[in-house]
Chains A and B, each alone.
Chain A
Amino acid sequence: DTEVTQTPKHLVMGMTNKKSLKCEQHMGHRAMYWYKQKAKKPPELMFVYSYEKLSINESVPSRFSPECPNSSLLNLHLHALQPEDSALYLCASSQKRAGARANEKLFFGSGTQLSVL
């Protein structure tokens, strides 16, 4: 199984709603990533978890709250979002073996297309 599964595929929410994006992998990977991608732009790194600990936070606004409850799951909790937060949210994972050389490839999910009204 080399799949990263993201749910839901599409989400429409109002600015006062609370919602969550979910990402799951069963490849035994120990690093998981959230990216945000606006139309016709490259993916922007948001958060990275390594061994279930937050290792990178790219100064993302607090209305985005990541959570890594175990090594297979990654959530992104959304609250009080703005219309400009509408984008494709991509999750990825990599093996992150301790002491491994930088030959780790990222496996990406298909993303959640988020629309904030």
Chain B
Amino acid sequence: DAKTTQPPSMDCAEGRAANLPCNHSTISGNEYVYWYRQIHSQGPQYIIHGLKNNETNEMASLIITEDRKSSTLILPHATLRDTAVYYCIVRVYNNNDMRFGAGTRLTVKP
């Protein structure tokens, strides 16, 4: 059973914010939300993770709803290099089990 649901594809204009949604309605209290992305022909790259508070780093912001059933990854100023498949993953505390769902293919257009 997929733990997360993401739209299969999204477009974004260069320089605009890209908002990528993820539903994880069955998330448990000890599960974190992780985001990775995979640019064509490369290995996945870690972006950000969170438990219940909003998080920000140099790459992106993660907004988690109060009930933790969904989250949004925000790329504040998308560039053409942000074109990639973005994966939202929920993972139990200190667990080796990192499994990828189908992801969202984000295309940033000039």
Contact = CB atoms under 8 A, between A and B. Distances in A.
Contacts of B96: 31, 33, 48, 50, 55-56, 96
B32 A103 contact: yes
Contacts of A4: 43
Interface in A39-56: 42-45, 48, 50, 55-56
Interface string A89-117: 01010001001111111111111000000
Interface of B is mostly: loop
A101 B93 contact: yes
Which bucket holds chain B's interface residue count? 20 to 34
Nearest to A50: B96
Contacts of B16: none
A49 B86 CA distance: 25
Given A102-B93, A110-B42, A42 B103 contact: yes
Nearest to A31: B96
Interface of B: 30, 32, 34, 36, 38, 41-46, 49, 85, 87, 91-103
28 contacts: A4-B43, A35-B100, A42-B87, A42-B100, A42-B102, A42-B103, A43-B44, A44-B100, A45-B99, A48-B96, A50-B96, A55-B96, A56-B96, A56-B97, A90-B43, A99-B94, A101-B94, A102-B30, A102-B92, A102-B95, A105-B34, A105-B46, A105-B49, A107-B46, A108-B42, A109-B43, A110-B43, A111-B42
